[in-house]
Amino acid sequence: MNHYLDLFLTQFVAVMTPFLLPLLLLLALPLPLARSHDYHDALAKSILFFEGQRSGKLPADQRAEWRGDSALLDGSEVGVDLTGGYYDAGDNVKFGFPMAFTTTMLSWSVIEFGDCMPADELRNAAAAIRWATDYLLKTVSHPGIVFVQVGNPISDHNCWERPEDMDTARTVYYVSADRPGSEVAGETAAALAAASMVFRQTDSAYSRKLLKNAMRVFEFADTHKGAYSDDPGLKAGVCPFYCDFDGYQAT
């Protein structure tokens, strides 16, 4: 039973994530307009589902108790620590591009509408952001490299299983000066910068760390311009799932 619940919840969060910002907007509605629908409860559940997507060593206050530790050796094949972060939809792959975008949007939602959120849910939202940024900081911790993905999407999509049980390859993908990825590096910078504002008042040291790394990664993206989908090795791993379909023109 827990196995099927796991699969259902991971698929549900893939549907819920794009609607998180509208739910936060609805929190600003006057109470009479919101009374017919419990948007506060919907928001609480949408944040809770992020915990169902967590990868790595889970904290003691993990609320999604059906999720266990997983992918504790991520990054070991290239000698780095890439544990943590979020799985994508119902997959066991950690795609850096959509994870960074989700972090950016969630951060801006809290920046804009955090004052409308109950204190406990604001803490939960901040925890969801920090779970992502702790991982994103790991991906940019080596100068000249941004790790953009963990997991082989082809083998993963051919074997649908719980992350606690997975035995598919945890292939590591990265961009560098020789194989640039301005879109994914730029979105990572945006996520770190937006999150720095979330923690500015509550954890100033962490906020400064996020901003410092955001500036460094943005400089990397701007200096080494190009699309990561143009590199044959990266294209095999990131496309057709998360290419930059709008196109990136290096200048």
DSSP 149: E
What is the predicted pLDDT for the residue at 3? 46
What is the predicted pLDDT for the residue at 8? 42
Asked if residue 54 is part of any domain, the answer here is no
Asked if residue 44 is part of any domain, the answer here is no
What is the predicted pLDDT for the residue at 42? 85
What is the predicted pLDDT for the residue at 28? 56
Asked if residue 24 is part of any domain, the answer here is no
Asked if residue 128 is part of any domain, the answer here is yes
Residue 183 domain boundaries: 69-238
Smallest Cα–Cα separation from 196: which of 220, 182, 216, 176? 216
Asked if residue 86 is part of any domain, the answer here is yes
The pair phi, psi for residue 77, each rounded to 5°, is -65, -20
Asked if residue 87 is part of any domain, the answer here is yes
The amino acid occupying position 8 is F
Asked if residue 185 is part of any domain, the answer here is yes
Whole-model pTM above 0.75?
Answer: yes
What is the predicted pLDDT for the residue at 195? 98
Burial class (CB in 10 A: 0-12, 13-18, 19+), 59: exposed
Look up residue 107 and give its two tokens.
Answer: 């951060």
Q: One digit per residue, pLDDT tens: the chain, 251 residues?
A: 444 444 444 444 444 455 455 555 555 556 555 567 787 888 888 899 999 999 999 999 999 999 999 999 999 999 999 999 999 988 999 999 999 999 999 999 999 999 988 999 999 999 999 999 999 999 999 999 999 999 999 999 898 899 999 999 999 999 999 999 999 999 999 999 999 999 999 999 999 999 999 999 999 999 999 998 888 888 888 877 887 656 555 43
Give the number of domains in the chain.
Answer: 1
Output the domain CATH number for residue 195: 1.50.10.10
**The pairing of beta strand 145-150 with beta strand 94-95:** antiparallel
Q: What angle do CA 210, 176, 128 make, to 5 degrees?
A: 30
Asked if residue 61 is part of any domain, the answer here is no
